[in-house]
């Protein structure tokens, strides 16, 4: 189902005209209402008159997470506090949080893009949504909640954690759609299996985000929970979840580009990359009132797809996030993304999708250890078979990544589970 056919299926020429109008209005708004952006633009010698079309985006300054934290809490707001009806903040654990301010119109837009997200997966007013994202300052819970309500669905606002209760309500309330992080979805799958209630569930759809996850992880979740798993993308700085979403084709996430202008730039040079090439994802909001952002550097690495989608939507699509430029590990001079390791591990039927990477340094040389759980049915006291499995995984990692990793196979359920964003890496090197 297409929620807003007129905008989601808008032709490229019409969409560009709409984006041009909304970009000009946004630049006017931030120039006159944000001291931060006015100063940035004046430093570059530009005024709103210099911005006529989206081709002029390159004239505008970038915005970074550091900018948002340096102007904490409300320094990037472009609306008076009397018009701000909601405040959210990032879930970051270091430094000051990133704050998002929303007007009533912003909340309406947010609900709209989330309704599009759920409709694109095939959901309707007849579904029962269990929202297991955290509620509160984190945008996930309330973002999914209001989007599902706008869709007309029945919403269970259970939030994250309390896993036994989660499973109980799934069975008692007939949950058909689940919203949470992919790592928590796997945790729920384990609990469902242990409780022996797989056949009592009515799950059909899962909407997962807030952390990178691979296609291999998608297949694992779909198999264990017996549903179709959809990726959703968003960030507090832009609006929250709903910036982009999977459709039923699961071939790239459609960007709500009537609200969010995407760019892909080289993270080193900040110059635009060729169409289809991987680079850093940058967003400009063009309908936000409370806290518009101009050319916000997400640090997420992906590419854009402009070909037609079988679902009928005409919006540009982004490929799955392969990782973050600031999450990339440089080990012995080689760039390593945790998602690469995850893809390898999920190639092996003997290992579970629960792992942890440890990076250290001994005698001025990087060490790289991968701890991965063995599935219960494959775990054995036969050291020879376990050693052979470990060596096979090591060889595969070396062929994909280009460096050797020491693989340690661990017992089932020995790696800590996460009810929110999973922590996959421990870097013990003293690099600075």
How far is it, in rounded angstroms, from Cα 30 to Cα 36? 8
- Report the C-alpha gap between 29 and 293 in whole angstroms: 11
Tokens found for residue 424 = 């996959």
Q: Do β-strands 279-285 and 296-302 pair in parallel, antiparallel, or remain unpaired?
A: antiparallel
Q: Can you give the pLDDT at residue 328?
A: 77
Relative orientation angle of helices 182-195 and 215-225, to the nearest 10 degrees:
30
DSSP state of 415: S
CA atoms within 13 A on the CB side of 165: 9
Structure tokens belonging to residue 153: 């669905």
| pLDDT bucket at 93, cuts 50 / 70 / 90 | very low
Q: Select from 3.40.50.12780, 3.40.640.10, 3.40.50.970, 3.40.50.1820 the CATH code of 1-324.
A: 3.40.50.12780
Dihedral sign from CA coordinates of 19, 21, 22, 24: positive
Mapped onto helix, strand or coil, the DSSP state of residue 128 is strand
pLDDT band at 298 (very low <50, low <70, confident <90, very high): very high
pLDDT of the residue at 325: 73
Per-residue pLDDT tens over the stretch 246-270: 999 999 999 999 999 999 999 999 9
Whether the predicted pLDDT of 195 surpasses 60? yes
Distance (Å, whole) CA 227 – CA 250: 13
* 329-427 is a CATH 3.40.190.10 domain: no
> What residues does each domain of the chain span?
1-324, 329-427
Residue 355: both structure tokens together:
């792992």
* pLDDT for residue 333 is more than 80: no
Say how far apart CA 345 and CA 342 lie, in whole Å: 5
C-beta atoms surrounding 316 within 10 Å: 20
**Contacts (Cβ under 8 Å, ≥6 apart) of 337:** 322, 323, 327, 328, 329
pLDDT in tens, 225-241: 999 999 999 999 999 99
pLDDT confidence band for 355 (50 / 70 / 90): very high
Q: What percent of the chain has pLDDT over 90?
A: 81
What does the pLDDT look like over 98-131, one tens digit per residue? 999 999 999 999 999 999 999 999 999 999 999 9
Query: Considering the chain, what is the average pLDDT of its residues?
Result: 93
Strands 240-246 and 228-235: antiparallel
Tell me the two tokens of residue 291.
């806290």
Across 308-400, the runs of DSSP E, i.e. the strands, are 317-318, 323-324, 329-331, 334-336, 351-362, 365-374
């Amino acid at each position: 189902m297409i929620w807003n056919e007129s905008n989601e299926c808008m032709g490229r020429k019409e969409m560009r005209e709409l984006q041009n109008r909304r970009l000009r209005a946004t630049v006017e708004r931030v120039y006159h209402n944000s001291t931060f952006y006015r100063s940035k633009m004046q430093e570059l010698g530009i005024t709103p008159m210099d911005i006529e079309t989206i081709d002029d985006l390159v004239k505008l300054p970038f915005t970074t997470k550091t900018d948002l934290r340096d102007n904490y809490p409300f320094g990037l707001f472009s609306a008076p506090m009397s018009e701000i009806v909601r405040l959210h903040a990032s879930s970051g654990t270091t430094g000051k949080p990133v704050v998002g301010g929303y007007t009533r119109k912003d909340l309406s837009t947010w609900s709209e893009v989330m309704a599009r997200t759920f409709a694109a997966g095939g959901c309707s007013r007849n579904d029962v949504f269990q929202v297991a994202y955290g509620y509160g300052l984190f945008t996930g819970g309330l973002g999914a909640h209001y989007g599902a309500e706008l869709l007309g669905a029945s919403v269970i606002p259970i939030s994250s954690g309390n896993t036994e209760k989660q499973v109980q309500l799934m069975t008692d309330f007939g949950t058909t759609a689940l919203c949470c992080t992919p790592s928590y979805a796997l945790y729920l799958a384990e609990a469902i299996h242990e409780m022996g209630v797989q056949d009592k569930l009515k799950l059909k759809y899962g909407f997962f985000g807030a952390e990178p996850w691979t296609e291999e992880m998608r297949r694992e979740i779909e198999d264990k929970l017996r549903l179709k798993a959809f990726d959703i993308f968003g960030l507090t700085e832009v609006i929250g979840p709903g910036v982009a979403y999977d459709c039923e084709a699961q071939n790239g996430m459609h960007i709500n580009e009537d609200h969010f202008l995407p760019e892909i730039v080289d993270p080193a040079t900040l110059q635009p990359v060729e169409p289809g090439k991987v680079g850093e994802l940058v967003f400009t909001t063009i309908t936000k009132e409370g806290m518009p952002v101009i050319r916000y550097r997400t640090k997420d690495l992906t590419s854009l797809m402009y070909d037609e989608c079988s679902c009928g939507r005409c919006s540009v699509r982004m490929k799955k996030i392969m990782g973050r430029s600031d999450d990339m590990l440089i080990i012995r001079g080689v760039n390593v993304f945790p998602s690469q390791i995850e893809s390898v591990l999920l190639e092996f039927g003997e290992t579970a999708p629960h792992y942890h990477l440890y990076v250290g340094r001994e005698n001025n040389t990087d060490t790289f250890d991968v701890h991965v759980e063995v599935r219960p049915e494959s775990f054995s006291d036969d050291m020879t078979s376990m050693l052979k499995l470990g060596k096979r995984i090591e060889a595969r990692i070396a062929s994909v990544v280009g460096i050797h990793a020491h693989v340690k196979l661990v017992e089932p359920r020995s790696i800590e589970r996460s009810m929110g964003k999973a922590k996959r890496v421990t870097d013990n090197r003293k690099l600075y």
